[in-house]
């Protein structure tokens, strides 16, 4: 059950920058966000998601398993793939 919650949280955080015009959810913008700013938000949400999941893993398992750079590259691109529905909605459909 916990893995589905983590995947749902990743899907939610990956798509928020694309479907919302607010900067980092809380700061309203008068005009549309630029794509580089949206990509910066995706990167920031990926880092926040990594910190949250790392904390949850430490609480459940008791220690955090060591990972090399390949793990972080794969999880980042998985996060980017998770953000594709929001990208399609904002860039292609609008």
Q: What pLDDT was estimated at residue 53?
A: 87
How many domains does the chain contain in total? 1
- Res. 63: pLDDT tops 80: no
Domain range for 50 is: 2-92
- Res. 19: pLDDT tops 90: no
What pLDDT digit, counting tens, does each position of 20-57 carry?
A: 888 787 887 788 888 888 889 999 999 999 998 888 88
Q: What pLDDT was estimated at residue 92?
A: 84
Mean of all residue pLDDT scores within the chain: 86
- Asked whether 46 and 70 are in contact (CB, 8 A), the reply is no
Q: What pLDDT was estimated at residue 58?
A: 82
Q: Is the pTM of this model over 0.85?
A: no
Return the C-alpha torsion angle 53, 59, 62, 63, nearest 10. 30
């Amino acid at each position: 059950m916990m893995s589905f919650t983590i995947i749902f949280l990743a899907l939610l955080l990956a798509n928020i920058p694309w479907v919302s015009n607010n900067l980092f959810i809380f700061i309203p913008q008068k005009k549309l966000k630029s794509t580089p700013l949206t990509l910066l938000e995706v990167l920031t949400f990926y880092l926040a998601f990594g910190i949250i999941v790392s904390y949850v893993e430490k609480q459940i398992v008791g220690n955090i398993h060591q990972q090399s750079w390949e793990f972080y590259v794969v999880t980042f691109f998985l996060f980017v793939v998770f953000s594709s529905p929001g990208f399609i909605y904002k860039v292609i459909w609008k």
